[in-house]
């Protein structure tokens, strides 16, 4: 709770170069570094609300400030006489929280609620008074923050505590934004608390609030919270990092010269851009030191290039990679594929002739604003839904108004907060919810896969490492219990297969409504939605759990007369020619032959893995050509779903093409999928494509390919 926070004593080792130098607006990042290296001043603000108003107008020039003044008057009069543990008037806390949000660009409603966020909890002010004076929206947010403040966090990362906090937010990201700013100010002012209490608060911040800041994209808050937690929980590593940064401050920094070179390159190319050197925060420097060992001058910061349009980002990238030596492994495109928390930028690294490697971030100014402030930069994300609800109410349609009211979902892609609220209702217990949630919070990269059926939406966003099982539950919900297979990029694959960014996925559902997931699905599901749904089904159907291994049955085989080399001829007199069973070449495949034991020549397709192995062993290939005759032998694999009469229907389809079955093998079903292997004698190799199409047209067959 905010009432616990105190102010630290001034520290004499504060670096003067980090203080404000004649700036009219406060720099949140600079204030954060000053909070770590020592506060610069404890002077009172000359005008209690003036800095908030100034910061707010910088982002919203036309904002009506009268509501902020009224909120301040109510907050100041309500908190009058209350003191923080540092001895300062309590009103300094809501003012500081509001200033943090104003610097991030929060809209007026959020700032008003921030000024009042402790009044209902700590004073005689009631929610009805807030509603009467400032409206329903401000009252809604204040109520949500009050519920969050009443939660006793107790042990760090306590599952039930986190679950309560999610419910208390009322499904409004602005509640969380205020809570994050509230915690940031409290973390800045932990100095006079007992070390054990500092550690407890820091652990909760690390386990709960920093992942939330990351998910909401509020990087300015997240990075400063990380540094403050780092200083408390890892004091030795923090002091080592502090010493590294201090030592670097006395050395020549190569980044300004590299930035000047980048400016010159872009100016010559006619690209209007702003180039800055951005110092890394403490935790970032610590991570780089662990990764690279000894740090060089260019490792203490990055170059930021700001442009006007998305196309300019790629123009800058082209110039950088043309005029400097790019480090290809460092390139990441988050413009075409934004991260889960709205983040967009191009990341690259370039090497200079002097041997320095500089990381470069390229983004538009709007991307930069969102990268720093996340959902706070979106203004009021619920304004559109509120306008629709008001219009529906005026038209006298209560049903429409109710529908609009349900639109209060978070604006982040793809609705993460809304899903969290669904998960906490579905999870059987807090520990289950917490275990799957921690895995979700730990994800720092998403992939996007495309639906092959063309349905809306056309894409599915999943965490990196997700499987076809996750895609099934993301697309079909509980109907995914009946999923029995998937085609990825046109090829039939198992549900356990991991997906890659850009894959096209077609999910195949069983016709049997009683179908359910196998127990081993939990081993391959990565998303909370999938894991919770699978666990609930397995608990509700304990007698219906599928075996995780196939029954021990021998495959059914049908063998006919086998031929030899077909119409392949080796350029080796009197040699016996055999077509390799591993790749079964047919005309007009490019082939190679190798002499094996007994003097026979085995013929492989040129791209067969056995060819590479033979050549690696130093075996000399024998030239092979095809006879003018058109007949050939080929082995085909057919993958299908099990059903009665499937083997008969496939055999009939093959016979209708005039093809002889030399041998056939049917493997036991696994997850209702059956694999057939046919060795076939074709009267004409040109008929192979038509044969494969005929086999694919058999109901239940989803893939036919050469062995």
Tens-place pLDDT, residues 366-398: 999 988 988 887 776 666 555 555 555 555 554
- Identity of the highest mean pLDDT range in 92-106, 147-161, 209-223, 412-426: 92-106
With 90 as the cut, is the pLDDT of residue 673 above it?
Answer: no
Cβ pair 524, 492 in contact under 8 A:
no
Identify the active-site residue in 54, 88, 121, 649. 121
Question: What are the tokens at 248?
Answer: 């670097």
pLDDT of 560 reads: 42
What's the rounded mean pLDDT across residues 575-580?
A: 79
pLDDT at 230: 94
Which span out of 98-112, 390-404, 661-675 was modeled with the highest average pLDDT?
A: 98-112
Q: What is the DSSP string of 74-105?
A: HHHHHHTT-B-TTSSBTTHHHHHHHHHHHHHT
Strand, helix or coil at 661? strand
Higher pLDDT, 228 or 660: 228
Provide the 10 A C-beta neighbour count for residue 36: 21
Exposure string (b/e) for 186-205, b if CB count within 10 Å is 16 or more?
A: bbbbbeebeeeebbbbbbbb
pLDDT at 181: 92
Query: How many residues would you count in the chain?
Result: 707
Residue-wise pLDDT for 45-97, tens only, equals 336 688 888 899 999 998 888 899 999 989 988 888 888 877 788 888 899 99
Distance CA 228, CA 33 (A): 10
State how far the Cα of 324 lies from the Cα of 322, in Å rounded to an integer: 6
- pLDDT > 90: percent of the chain: 21
Position of tokens 């003097």? 599
Least trusted range by pLDDT, from 32-41, 217-226, 430-439: 32-41
- What tens digit of pLDDT does each residue of 593-610 get? 888 877 788 888 888 888
CA angle 47, 51, 57 (to 5 degrees): 130
pLDDT digits (tens, 9 = 90+) for 171-190: 677 888 898 999 999 898 88
Average pLDDT over residues 98-126: 91
Instruction: Return the pLDDT at 1.
Output: 40
Q: Which residue has the higher pLDDT, 618 or 513?
A: 618
The torsion of the CA quartet 647, 653, 657, 661, rounded to 10 degrees, works out to: 0
Amino acid 430: pLDDT? 64
Does residue 117 carry a pLDDT above 80?
Answer: yes
Does 586 have pLDDT greater than 90? Answer: no
DSSP string, 190-230: -TTS-HHHHHHHHHHIIIIIHHHHHHTT-HHHHHHHHHHHH
- CA dist., res. 160 & res. 173, Å (int): 20
- Predicted confidence at residue 463, as pLDDT, reads 80
Whole-model pTM over 0.85: no
* Annotated catalytic residue within 107, 118, 122, 172: 122
Evaluate if residue 413 carries a pLDDT over 80: no
- By mean pLDDT, which of 69-78, 350-359, 496-505, 627-636 is the weakest? 627-636
Give 158's pLDDT tier (boundaries 50, 70, 90).
low
Structure tokens at 230: 């780092």
pLDDT of 632 higher than 60: yes
- Among 80-89, 407-416, 440-449, 668-677, the range with the most confident prediction by mean pLDDT is 80-89
| Amino acid 414: pLDDT | 40
Ranked by mean pLDDT, the top range of 108-112, 122-126, 561-565 is: 108-112
Residue among 324, 322, 311 nearest 272 (CA) = 311
Is 122 in the active site? Answer: yes
Handedness of CA 618, 623, 626, 631 (dihedral sign): negative
Inform me whether the pLDDT recorded for 559 exceeds 70. no
Which pLDDT score is estimated for 166? 65
- Find the mean pLDDT for residues 208-225: 86
């Amino acid at each position: 709770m905010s009432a616990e926070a105190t102010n630290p004593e001034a520290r004499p080792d504060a670096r003067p170069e980090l203080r404000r130098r004649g700036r009219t607006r406060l720099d949140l990042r600079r204030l954060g570094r000053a909070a770590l290296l020592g506060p610069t001043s404890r002077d009172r603000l000359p005008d209690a609300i003036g800095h908030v108003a100034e910061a707010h107008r910088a982002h919203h020039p036309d904002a009506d400030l009268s509501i902020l003044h009224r909120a301040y008057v109510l907050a100041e009069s309500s908190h009058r006489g209350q003191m923080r543990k540092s001895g300062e008037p309590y009103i300094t806390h809501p003012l500081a929280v509001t200033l943090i949000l104003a610097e991030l660009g929060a809209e007026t409603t959020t700032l008003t609620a921030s000024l009042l966020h402790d009044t209902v909890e700590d004073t005689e002010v009631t929610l009805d008074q807030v509603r009467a004076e400032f409206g329903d929206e401000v009252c809604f947010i204040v109520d949500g923050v009050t519920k969050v403040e009443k939660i006793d966090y107790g042990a760090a990362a306590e599952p039930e505590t986190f679950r309560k906090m999610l419910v208390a937010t009322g499904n409004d990201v602005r509640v969380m934004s205020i809570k994050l700013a509230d915690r940031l100010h409290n973390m800045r002012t932990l100095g006079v608390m007992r070390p054990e209490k500092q550690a407890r608060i820091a652990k909760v911040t690390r386990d709960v609030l920093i992942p939330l800041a990351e998910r909401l994209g509020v990087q300015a808050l997240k990075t400063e919270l990380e540094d403050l937690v780092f200083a408390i929980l890892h004091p030795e590593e923090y002091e080592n990092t502090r010493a590294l940064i201090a030592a670097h401050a006395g050395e020549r920094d190569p980044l300004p010269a590299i930035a000047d070179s980048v400016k010159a390159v872009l100016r010559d190319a006619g690209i209007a851009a702003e180039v800055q050197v951005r110092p890394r925060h403490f935790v970032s420097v610590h991570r780089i030191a662990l990764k690279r060992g000894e740090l060089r001058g260019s490792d203490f910061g990055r170059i930021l290039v700001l442009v006007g349009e998305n196309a300019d980002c790629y123009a800058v990238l082209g110039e950088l990679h043309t005029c400097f030596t790019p480090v290809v492994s460092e390139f990441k495109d988050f413009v075409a594929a934004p991260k889960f928390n709205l983040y967009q930028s191009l990341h690259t690294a370039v090497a200079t002739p002097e041997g320095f490697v500089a990381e470069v971030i390229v983004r538009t100014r709007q991307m930069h604003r969102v990268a720093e402030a996340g959902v706070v930069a979106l203004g009021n994300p619920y304004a559109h839904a509120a306008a629709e609800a008001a219009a529906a109410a005026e038209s006298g349609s209560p049903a429409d108004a109710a529908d609009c009211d349900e639109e209060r979902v978070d604006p982040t892609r793809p609705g993460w907060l809304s899903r969290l609220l669904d998960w906490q209702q579905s999870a059987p217990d807090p520990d289950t919810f917490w275990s799957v949630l921690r895995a979700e919070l730990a994800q720092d990269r998403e992939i996007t896969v495309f639906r092959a059926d063309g349905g809306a939406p056309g894409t599915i966003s999943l965490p990196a490492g997700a499987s076809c099982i996750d895609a099934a539950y993301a697309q079909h919900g509980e109907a995914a219990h009946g999923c029995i297979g998937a085609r990825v990029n046109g090829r039939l694959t198992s549900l356990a297969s991991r997906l890659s960014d850009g894959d096209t996925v077609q999910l195949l559902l069983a016709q049997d409504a009683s179908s359910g997931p196998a127990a081993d699905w939990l081993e391959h599901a990565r998303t909370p939605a999938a894991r919770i749904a699978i666990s609930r089904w397995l608990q509700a159907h304990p007698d219906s759990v599928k075996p995780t291994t196939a029954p021990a049955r021998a495959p059914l085989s049908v063998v006919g007369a086998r031929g030899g080399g077909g119409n392949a001829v080796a350029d080796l007199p009197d040699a016996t020619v055999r077509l390799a069973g591993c790749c079964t070449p047919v005309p007009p495949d490019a082939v190679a032959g190798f002499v094996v034991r007994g003097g026979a020549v085995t013929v492989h397709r040129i791209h067969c893995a056995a060819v590479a192995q033979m050549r690696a062993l130093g075996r000399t290939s024998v030239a092979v050509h095809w006879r003018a005759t058109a007949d050939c032998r080929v082995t085909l694999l057919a993958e299908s779903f099990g059903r009665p009469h499937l083997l008969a229907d496939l055999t009939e389809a093959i016979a209708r093409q005039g093809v002889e079955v030399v041998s056939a093998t049917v493997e036991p079903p696994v997850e209702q999928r059956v694999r057939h292997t046919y060795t076939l004698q074709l009267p004409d190799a040109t008929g192979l494509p038509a044969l494969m199409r005929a086999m694919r047209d058999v109901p239940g067959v989803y893939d036919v390919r050469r062995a």
